[in-house]
């Protein structure tokens, strides 16, 4: 079946169409000016474009690489019930040995306790009566501190606007943070190391929020300042609206989001935003207001205006949900942020929380067999919480971490003892996340920066230029040699080589992979591997022609015998690339990704594409010679 050139070229054509589709967003994005990017960002279309481009790594576009470590000795010291010089000396000696040997802190602590007969129970009786139990409990506390630090950092990444940040645990106590493209490393360091701020703020009544939203509309229109419009236009002008419900109906056809959304997602017209410059972005879902994720930047820009800030009452504040989520039953893939209007001053802060655990609701409760979070507070927090809940039964209270709202449950009854049960989570994973957030507000140990590497934009640009120069020089030398040595067949191999490169780049774009400097090195190595395959095939064809075989027979025999050798050689390289990707970190992964896809692309171009061209050229019986 694949002996028909027409079918082969159809397959090659499909691959070329995919390459164009995959690489066009990157080409379009790289040609946009900063002004055009700003316009698209306001219109909510830039994020979709950025989602499909080839991302550049830290070494290519600059940024910051941080390795953070939880201060375990400080954590253990903070958790102790009693503190004296003996405990401080033990922790200091343990920390010094860990620093010198890089051993596990708790293994060293256990050995020191055993050797000195140190009475650990005097300081940690609430964690057990036996040394192994106390050490195990302290280890769990350390793991929990790392998880809290990880959640805090993730919660703050949006501050930088980084498209593809890297935030991951390394070992048991460390966190790696890579923020590519940020312009102010000092700001990043300060923001990451700030103490987490956990607050409980009451939501204001939805009718009050609606009034404020309409007042913002009027303030923006009265200012006469230009309003950033959405990119798409709707030729149907909305009817005048007197209330928020009318405004939302004019924008989306209903105050209920699930009747307003279609499979293509939401597009807000210029006419609607001209009449409702703020509320035009909002959709009502009962007691909440949601905004399509791609329009969040535009809403933030409006909220930052002086005339808008002057309109918002001094006791109120707008805050976003911590993440965008799809709405159920909408028939669209669009994701939405929830915009809350709540009291500016918190009713309670997170420092009073002593414990927060994810559990399954008890039988007989309103959340039986459902995931819940059990929260305990200290005496001060219990008294404040009792007053707050007793005076606001039926209202909602937002759990706010670093000015982002993770959930807003309803206060069902007065809670006099600080023992609170939070319901409404969809899964146990959500309950665990809320528990981590609640504990994050009183992080008991600092997170220290133990390694920092900053790459300036200039250095990143130099890396790109040098990488491109090496790529171009190596490519030209290889192409020149193969074209000179193999004549016409060498030109065919050159065409396959160029397709090989763009196929690899298209694969990176489709997989949302990141191109790094080692990745460019892998791409250069791919050129050599691809040429090696063509050399094997062409030399085999030459041998068959020297034996007196016909051109067609020599080509078939050359490809048939060389293909096995090529596959054998490339399979081992593919396996090596997979091992590097699985067990390597950072630069090694970037190299492994381009090497893996480069090998697959080279086999396609060298074995399939060049043979298809040879089959088409030698199809006619009039062809008597082959330029090789």
Q: Give the number of other CB atoms < 10 A from CB of residue 453.
A: 13
Greatest alpha-carbon span in the chain = 99
> Which of 123-137, 258-272, 449-463 shows the lowest per-residue confidence on average (mean pLDDT)?
258-272
- What is the arithmetic mean of pLDDT over 340-367? 84
More confident residue, 59 or 11: 11
Write the DSSP string, 52-78: TSPEE-HHHH-EEEEEEEE-HHHHHHH
E runs forming strands in 187-281? 198-202
d(CA 614, CA 534): 13
User: Where does the pLDDT of residue 531 fall: very low under 50, low under 70, confident under 90, or very high at 90 and above?
Assistant: confident
More confident residue, 179 or 311: 311
- What is the arithmetic mean of pLDDT over 246-258? 40
Res 586: pLDDT: 65
d(CA 118, CA 116): 5
For the sheet containing 371-377, what is the strand order?
353-360, 371-377, 420-422
Res 240: pLDDT: 38
Q: Which residues is 360 bridged to in the sheet?
A: 371
Q: Give the number of other CB atoms < 10 A from CB of residue 447.
A: 24
CB 204 within 8 A of CB 339: no
For the chain, domains (ranges, CATH) are: 63-194 (no CATH), 202-343 (no CATH), 348-440 (3.30.1360.200), 456-617 (1.20.1640.10)
Write the DSSP string, 511-580: TT-EE-HHHHHHHHHHHHHHHHHHHHHHHHHHHHHHTT--HHHHHHHHHHHHHHHHHHHHHHHHHHHHHH
**Token code pair at residue 127:** 């964690």
Question: pLDDT tens for residues 257-292?
Answer: 333 333 334 566 677 778 888 988 888 887 889 998
Res 317: pLDDT: 94
Angle between helix axes 428-440 and 131-156 (nearest 10 degrees) is 90
When mean pLDDT is compared over 113-122, 352-361, 389-398, 507-516, the highest value belongs to 389-398
More confident residue, 293 or 159: 293
- The sign of the CA dihedral 558, 527, 601, 581 is positive
Res 256: pLDDT: 37
Question: pLDDT tens for residues 22-41?
Answer: 999 999 988 888 888 888 87
CB 392 within 8 A of CB 375: no
- What is the arithmetic mean of pLDDT over 211-229? 79
Write the DSSP string, 272-340: HHHH-TTGGG-EE-SS-EEEEGGGHHHHHHHHTSHHHHHHS-TTEEEEEESS-EEPTT-----EEEEEE
Closest CA to 85 of 129, 127, 133, 118: 118
Closest CA to 196 of 377, 443, 447, 446: 443
Q: Within 13 A of 408's CA, how many CA atoms are on the CB side?
A: 24
Res 2: pLDDT: 65
- What is the arithmetic mean of pLDDT over 402-429? 87
Question: pLDDT tens for residues 598-626?
Answer: 888 988 888 888 888 888 888 777 767 77
User: Where does the pLDDT of residue 461 fall: very low under 50, low under 70, confident under 90, or very high at 90 and above?
Assistant: low
d(CA 398, CA 341): 10
Res 17: pLDDT: 94
Res 196: pLDDT: 67
- What is the arithmetic mean of pLDDT over 65-76? 85
CB 227 within 8 A of CB 220: yes
Element (H, E) at 70: strand 63-70
- What is the arithmetic mean of pLDDT over 49-55? 83
User: Where does the pLDDT of residue 158 fall: very low under 50, low under 70, confident under 90, or very high at 90 and above?
Assistant: low
CB 513 within 8 A of CB 593: yes
Task: Give the number of residues written for the chain.
Answer: 628
- pLDDT above 70: percentage of residues in the chain: 85
Whether 169 shows a pLDDT value over 80: the answer reads yes
Whether 499 shows a pLDDT value over 80: the answer reads yes
3-state secondary structure of 167: strand
d(CA 228, CA 248): 19
More confident residue, 181 or 246: 181
Element (H, E) at 36: helix 34-43
**Token code pair at residue 311:** 């309109």
CA 129 centroid distance within chain: 44
Q: Give the number of other CB atoms < 10 A from CB of residue 407.
A: 20
What dihedral do alpha carbons 606, 609, 613, 614 form, nearest 10°?
40
CB 442 within 8 A of CB 376: no
Whether 252 shows a pLDDT value over 50: the answer reads no
Mean pLDDT rounded to a whole number for the chain: 80
Whether 514 shows a pLDDT value over 70: the answer reads yes
- What is the arithmetic mean of pLDDT over 310-339? 85
More confident residue, 430 or 225: 430
Angle between helix axes 457-510 and 5-30 (nearest 10 degrees) is 150
Res 159: pLDDT: 60
Whether 568 shows a pLDDT value over 90: the answer reads no
Whether 21 shows a pLDDT value over 60: the answer reads yes
Whether 519 shows a pLDDT value over 90: the answer reads no
3-state secondary structure of 381: helix
CB 420 within 8 A of CB 397: no
d(CA 134, CA 122): 11
d(CA 189, CA 453): 12
């Amino acid at each position: 079946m694949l002996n028909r050139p027409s079918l082969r070229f159809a397959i090659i054509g499909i691959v070329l169409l995919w390459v164009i589709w995959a690489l066009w967003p990157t080409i379009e994005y790289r040609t946009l000016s900063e002004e055009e990017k700003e316009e698209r960002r306001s219109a909510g279309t830039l994020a979709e474009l950025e989602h499909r481009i080839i991302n550049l790594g830290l070494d290519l576009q600059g940024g910051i690489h941080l390795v953070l470590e939880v201060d375990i000795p400080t954590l253990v010291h903070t958790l102790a019930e009693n503190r004296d010089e003996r405990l401080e000396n033990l922790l200091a000696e343990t920390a010094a040995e860990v620093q010198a040997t890089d051993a596990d802190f708790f293994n060293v602590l256990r050995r020191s306790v055993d050797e000195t007969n140190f009475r650990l129970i005097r300081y940690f009786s609430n964690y057990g009566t036996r040394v192994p139990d106390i050490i195990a409990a302290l280890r769990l506390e350390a793991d929990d501190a790392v998880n809290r630090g990880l959640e805090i950092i993730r919660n703050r990444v949006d501050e930088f606007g980084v498209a593809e940040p890297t935030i991951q645990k390394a070992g048991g106590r460390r966190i790696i943070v890579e923020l590519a493209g940020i312009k102010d490393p000092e700001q990043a360091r300060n923001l990451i190391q700030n103490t987490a701020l956990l607050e409980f703020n009451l939501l204001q009544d939805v009718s009050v929020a609606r009034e404020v939203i309409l007042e913002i509309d009027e303030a923006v229109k009265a200012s006469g300042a230009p309003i950033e419009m959405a990119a798409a236009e709707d030729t149907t002008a909305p009817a005048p609206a007197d209330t928020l419900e009318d405004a939302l109906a004019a924008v989306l056809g209903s105050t209920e989001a699930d009747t307003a959304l279609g499979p293509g997602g939401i597009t807000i017209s210029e006419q609607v935003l001209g009449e409702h410059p703020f509320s035009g972005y909002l959709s009502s879902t009962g007691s909440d207001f949601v905004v399509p994720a791609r329009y969040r930047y535009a809403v933030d820009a409006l909220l930052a205006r002086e005339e808008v800030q002057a309109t918002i009452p001094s006791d109120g504040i707008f805050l976003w949900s911590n993440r965008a989520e799809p709405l159920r039953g909408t028939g669209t893939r669009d994701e939405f942020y929830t915009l809350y209007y709540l009291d500016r001053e918190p009713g309670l802060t997170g420092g009073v929380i002593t414990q927060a655990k994810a559990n399954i609701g008890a039988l007989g409760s309103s959340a039986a067999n459902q995931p819940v979070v059990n929260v305990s507070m200290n005496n001060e927090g219990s008294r404040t919480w009792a007053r707050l809940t007793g005076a606001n039964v039926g209202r909602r209270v937002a759990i706010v971490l670093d000015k982002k709202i993770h959930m807003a449950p309803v206060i069902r009854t007065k809670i006099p003892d600080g023992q609170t049960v939070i319901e409404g989570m969809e899964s146990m994973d959500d309950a665990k996340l809320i528990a981590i957030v609640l504990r994050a507000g009183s992080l008991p140990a600092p997170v220290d920066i133990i390694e920092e590497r900053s790459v300036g934009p200039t250095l990143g640009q130099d890396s790109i230029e040098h990488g491109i120069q090496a790529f171009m020089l190596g490519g030209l030398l290889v192409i020149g040699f193969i074209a000179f040595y193999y004549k016409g067949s060498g030109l065919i191999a050159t065409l396959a080589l160029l397709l090989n490169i763009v196929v690899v780049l298209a694969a990176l774009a489709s997989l949302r992979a990141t191109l790094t400097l080692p990745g460019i090195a892998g791409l250069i190595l791919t050129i050599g591997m691809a040429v090696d395959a063509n050399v094997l095939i062409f030399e085999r064809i030459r041998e068959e022609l020297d034996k007196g075989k016909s051109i067609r027979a020599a080509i078939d025999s050359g490809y048939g015998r060389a293909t096995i050798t090529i596959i054998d050689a490339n399979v081992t390289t593919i396996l090596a690339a997979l091992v590097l990707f699985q067990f390597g970190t950072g630069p090694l992964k970037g190299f492994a990704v381009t090497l893996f896809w480069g090998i697959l692309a080279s086999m396609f171009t060298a074995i399939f594409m060049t043979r298809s061209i040879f089959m088409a050229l030698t199809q006619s019986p009039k062809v008597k010679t082959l330029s090789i």
